[in-house]
Amino acid sequence: MKHYDFFLKRPVFTGEELEQYLASEGKEGGLAKETILANHLKKGRIVRVSSGLFFVTPKKTESRPYMVDPFLIAGKLTPDAVLSHHSALEFYGFGYSIFFHIYYSASRPISPLRFNSQLIRGTKFPKALLEAEKVHYGVITENRYGLELRVTCLERALVDMLHYPAFGGSWDEIWLSLETLDSSDIDLDKVVEYTLLLGRASTAAKVGFFLEQHRELFMVEEPYLKALKELRPKRPHCMDRFNRKSSRFIPEWNLVVPPVVYELTFEEELVFYGEPLDRDDIFALIPRSRYFGETPNIIGAKAEKIL
C-alpha cells in the first residue's frame, strides 16, 4: 500500500510527522498531507485521536492482536509531552494499583482527553523548572514499540508525586506506590537535587518525611535529610487539607500528615484466609501494574475532550 512503510513504523503519529515524511519523499506541501489523511480516514486505515494526532489500524489481512498504547497517545498530545507522575512509575513496572488515568507534563497541556477506558490528563511543567530552563531534568527518551517516548526518571517521578499529589492518586496509593521502589531503583542524590531545584518548602518536607520513614528501604543517610530539612516550611503544612481528622503533626518537618500516611493502618486490616498480611505479602499477591499496561483491542476507538 502507498505510504504503508510510514504507517507500519508509526502506530501513533502526528500530522507534522507525516508532513516531514512526505518532504523526505519529495512531496512537500500541506495539500499532499491533507489528501492522504482524508483518504485513509475515510477507509478506516487511521483514526483521529485529537487535532493533528492519529493512530493506525491494522490491515484486514493481519491476524495479530491489535492494541494502541495509551502511553504513546499521551506522549504525542503536545510537542514536548513527557510521561510523568504515577504513569512514569507504571511505565517502569512500578505502582501499586491499576490506573485508568494517564498523566503527562508539558509546557501547554491540552484539555483532558478520554481515550477508550483511559482518561489522559496533562499538567504544566513546574514553574521553577520553566524559569531555570530545566523542564527536561531527569527526562529519559525510551523506545516504545519502535517509537521514542519521553518519560521522567524514577527519581523525578517520586518527587513529582509528592509535589503534585493530584497526579498520584490518594495518599495511601501514593505511599504504597513509592514503596514498590527500593534503594536499587533510586539515586538519592538525584532525588534531593531535583527537590531543591523545585524550591518548594512543602515538597522538601514531604520528600524528607517519606525518606526518613523509609530509611532502611532506601538506605537514607543523614546528609540527605539535613539538606531537605534546611528547606522545610517555617509554618506547619497540612498534606491533606480536606481531611484533617486524626492528622498528626511532625515537628521535625513542620508537616501535618494524614493517619493513613503516618500509620498505614489500612494495611493492618488486610487479611488472607484469616491471616494478617504485611507489606511483602500484599505485593506478592497483587502483581505490579506493568502486567496490565496494555489497552485491549480498540479498533474504532473514540477519543473525546473532557470539558
Question: Structural domain boundaries of the chain?
Answer: 4-64, 70-267
Q: Which of 13-27, 163-177, 286-300 has the highest mean pLDDT?
A: 163-177
Which is it for strands 255-257 and 237-238: parallel, antiparallel or unpaired? parallel
Give the three cell numbers for residue 177.
Answer: 506506590
pLDDT of residue 165: 94
C-alpha cell recorded at residue 5: 512503510
Average pLDDT over residues 270-287: 46
- Please give the pLDDT value at position 295: 35
> Can you say whether residue 206 is alpha, beta or left, with left for phi > 0 and alpha for psi between -120 and 50 degrees?
alpha
Q: Give CB contacts under 8 A, 24+ apart, made by 212-220.
A: 212/252, 212/253, 214/179, 217/179, 217/181, 217/182, 217/183, 218/181, 218/182, 218/183, 218/186, 218/188, 219/183, 219/188, 220/188
The rounded percent of the chain whose pLDDT value lies above 70 is: 79
Q: At what angle do helices 201-213 and 188-198 cross, to 10 degrees?
A: 160
95-111: pLDDT as tens digits: 888 788 999 999 999 99
Query: Hey, how many other C-beta atoms are within 10 angstroms of the C-beta on 4?
Result: 11
pLDDT in tens, 178-230: 999 999 999 999 999 999 999 999 999 999 999 999 999 999 999 999 999 99
Per-residue confidence band for 290, with pLDDT thresholds at 50, 70 and 90: very low
Give the lowest-confidence range in 40-54, 71-85, 134-148. 40-54
Burial zone of 106 (CB within 10 Å; 0-12 exposed, 13-18 middle, 19+ buried): buried
* Angle, vertex CA 226, rays to CA 225 and CA 228, nearest 5: 65
Does residue 296 have a pLDDT over 60? no
Is 175 a residue whose pLDDT tops 90?
yes
Q: Regarding predicted confidence, which is higher, 57 or 135?
A: 135
Distance between CA atoms of 145 and 74, rounded to whole angstroms? 14
pLDDT of residue 129: 97
* Fold of the domain built from segment(s) 4-64: Arc Repressor Mutant, subunit A (1.10.10)
